Amino acid sequence: MFKKILIANRGEIALRIIRTCKEMGIKTVAVYSTADRDSLHVRFADEAVCIGPPKSRDSYLNMQNIMAVAELTNADAIHPGYGFLAENAEFSELCQKYKIKFIGPLPYQIRSMGDKITAKETMIKAGVPCIPGSGGLIANLDEAAKTADEIGFPVILKATAGGGGKGMRIVRNAAELEKAYSMARTEAGASFGNDGVYMEKFIEEPRHIEIQVAGDQYGEGCHLSERDCSVQRRHQKLVEEAPSPFVDEELRKKMGAAAVKAVKAINYEGVGTVEFLVDKHKNFYFMEMNTRIQVEHPVTEEVMDFDLIKEQILIAAGTPISGVLYFPDKMHAIECRINAEDPLNNFAPSPGKITALHTPKGYGVRVDTHIYAGYTVPPFYDSLLAKVICRAKTREECIVKMQRALHEFIIEGVKTTIPFHLALLENEEFRSGKFDTGLLERFDYVSVIKEHMQADYKI
Ligand code: MV4
């Protein structure tokens, strides 16, 4: 087992990783930018080394500096968390070169999922259902027109280097195609330095359902059931839950088996997530695979009673996984992401000093956070402040528990997404469990938040 792990990250996920390391008797090294000098990951790690100025590219993305710290402190492994270097094949390669174990997949495994067309080709070969489409890059407008004709409108154009919605264009008819094709290429080129786009049939009103997977160094793979992440705003997830209210035992089995096929097809080593789009007829299609631990991993931890960070470390150390885990189907978990953003102003970032703080507590409530009273939220990084994860026997109880937890959550000094969540938890469509990724486009949460503000006014 590793003796010392360097955590190449910040915020709540750095704390989350330090916690498991401590429980496993592994020493920890934190790295931090000058903006994070007063952060808890710096305090709670056994050692901490400053790696540069606030801008990510000069600190948390500075591979040379991070490797130098790993060497200097004699770390035998690096955990990248999510974001930053987590899906950087070059960094995984650099770790190999310096003989420091990267806690995550090998460079070729990251690369095989980084390019969307390559990923899709690999999945089709492996027998994982994919959305009908162009199969490869669209070379010109003529080809775009031909392919659209074959697939039938509506179609969607996607950037092969993309993911997360950037460079995507929905095309409803032939008249829209020319403009959409040129805009998709331009946006893809500007965002990713690669203007390659491909085409797919557009799936109307889908759900985003992802399967947590794990694969070991010996070619074994398993899944740990699904998370429903259909509550999104502009491709940013706000609420995730497990099990999905839309997934029955038959669909869970099929999607789980498909996700395990994906794992085995690339000999995947580590924990990961296979994302699917699911249409209203319960057809499911591979979208992409995330080769990292995800923000919403605690939802799976809570329903499966399983430490995913510990599993990452065990897999990296060469421990075999124990085969397909059975989904107990006993508990429900929901996560609300609390961001320093103003839901009454288009979720504009709201950095600044947290002047007062009280976090929710009690039975079935978990809060993963790095903030404290007096902490200043820097403007340089993502705006995630905390994740509130509730667990209860049924979805209905879990929703009520989340409402009571969020009513206990006091954060003063910055605007947060708590009022948004309190509005959503009352929404009939959300409560019914029958919704799709378009939910937040239909929901006038601003009005509900304003109503709540009126009702909450205390003299
Ligand atoms: C789609 C789609 C419909 N049909 N592909 C959005 C992010 C990127 N990973 C893929 N996305 C979509 N791809 C086809 N063929 C609809 C979306 C989509 C979406 C997917 C998941 C969650 C939220 C979404 C919001 C809008 C569009």
Tell me the per-residue pLDDT of 21-38, one tens digit each, with 9 for 90 and over.
999 999 999 999 999 999
Is the CB–ligand 1 distance for residue 131 below 6 Å? yes
What pLDDT does 166 receive?
A: 79
Ligand 1 center from residue 232 Cα (angstroms)? 11
Share of the chain above pLDDT 70, in %: 98
Is the CB–ligand 1 distance for residue 162 below 6 Å? no
- Band (131; pLDDT cuts 50, 70, 90): very high
* Mean per-residue pLDDT, 226-236: 97
DSSP 8-state secondary structure symbol assigned to residue 344: G
Which atom of ligand 1 is nearest to 204's Cα?
3
* Mean per-residue pLDDT, 60-89: 98
Question: Against a cut of 0.95, is the pTM above it?
Answer: yes
What b/e sequence results for 358-371 when a residue is b if at least 16 CB atoms lie within 10 Å of its CB, and e otherwise?
A: ebbeeebbbbbbbb
Cβ(255)–Cβ(276) below 8 Å? yes
Looking at the DSSP assignment, which residues form a beta bridge with residue 82?
none
Domains observed in the chain: 4-103 (3.40.50.20), 132-201 (3.30.1490.20), 207-454 (3.30.470.20)
Residue having the nearest C-alpha atom to atom 5 of ligand 1 = 202
Write down the catalytic residue from 10, 16, 252, 292: 292
Which of 123, 437, 439, 441 has most ligand 1 atoms within 8 Å of CB, for mutation? 437
What pLDDT does 328 receive?
A: 61
Share of the chain above pLDDT 90, in %: 94
Is the CB–ligand 1 distance for residue 133 below 6 Å? no
Question: Looking at 40-44, 59-63, 160-164, 224-228, which range is the least confident one?
Answer: 160-164
Scanning 4-76, the segments in alpha helix (DSSP H) are 11-23, 40-44, 63-72
Q: Residue 87 and residue 80: Cα distance in Å, rounded?
A: 9
What b/e sequence results for 201-227 when a residue is b if at least 16 CB atoms lie within 10 Å of its CB, and e otherwise?
A: bbbeebbbbbbbbbbbbeebbbbbbbb
Is the CB–ligand 1 distance for residue 87 below 6 Å? no
Q: Residue 14 and residue 307: Cα distance in Å, rounded?
A: 15
* Mean per-residue pLDDT, 275-292: 97
Cβ(340)–Cβ(413) below 8 Å? no
* Mean per-residue pLDDT, 412-419: 98
Which token pair is 76? 């035998």
Q: Residue 62 and residue 8: Cα distance in Å, rounded?
A: 10
Q: Report the relative pairing of strands 207-215 and 197-201 from DSSP bridges.
A: unpaired
Nearest in space to 342 (alpha carbons), one of 442, 446, 239, 237: 446
292 is catalytic: yes
Ligand 1 center from residue 265 Cα (angstroms)? 24
Which atom of ligand 1 is nearest to 201's Cα?
15
Which token pair is 413? 């000094």
Name the residue with tokens 């039975």: 363
Is the CB–ligand 1 distance for residue 202 below 6 Å? yes
What pLDDT does 323 receive?
A: 58
Is the CB–ligand 1 distance for residue 203 below 6 Å? yes
Q: Is the pLDDT assigned to residue 259 strictly greater than 70? A: yes
Which of 157, 235, 273, 286 has most ligand 1 atoms within 8 Å of CB, for mutation? 235
Ligand 1 center from residue 208 Cα (angstroms)? 8
Cβ(225)–Cβ(304) below 8 Å? yes
- Band (327; pLDDT cuts 50, 70, 90): low
What pLDDT does 326 receive?
A: 59
Q: What is the mean pLDDT of the chain?
A: 96
Q: Report the relative pairing of strands 356-358 and 410-412 from DSSP bridges.
A: antiparallel
Residue 37: CB atoms within 10 A of its CB come to: 10
Looking at the DSSP assignment, which residues form a beta bridge with residue 158?
198
- CA-atom Rg of the chain in angstroms: 22
Which atom of ligand 1 is nearest to 232's Cα?
23
Residue having the nearest C-alpha atom to atom 23 of ligand 1 = 437
What pLDDT does 456 receive?
A: 82
* Mean per-residue pLDDT, 97-122: 96
DSSP per position, 382-426: --EEEEEEEEESSHHHHHHHHHHHHHH-EEESS--SHHHHHHHTT
Q: Residue 310 and residue 21: Cα distance in Å, rounded?
A: 8
Q: Residue 427 and residue 443: Cα distance in Å, rounded?
A: 8
* Mean per-residue pLDDT, 163-190: 91
Is the CB–ligand 1 distance for residue 119 below 6 Å? no
* Mean per-residue pLDDT, 375-395: 98
Q: Residue 165 and residue 340: Cα distance in Å, rounded?
A: 22
Cβ(285)–Cβ(277) below 8 Å? yes
Q: Is the pLDDT assigned to residue 109 strictly greater than 80? A: yes
What pLDDT does 325 receive?
A: 61
Q: Residue 35 and residue 378: Cα distance in Å, rounded?
A: 7
Residue having the nearest C-alpha atom to atom 10 of ligand 1 = 165
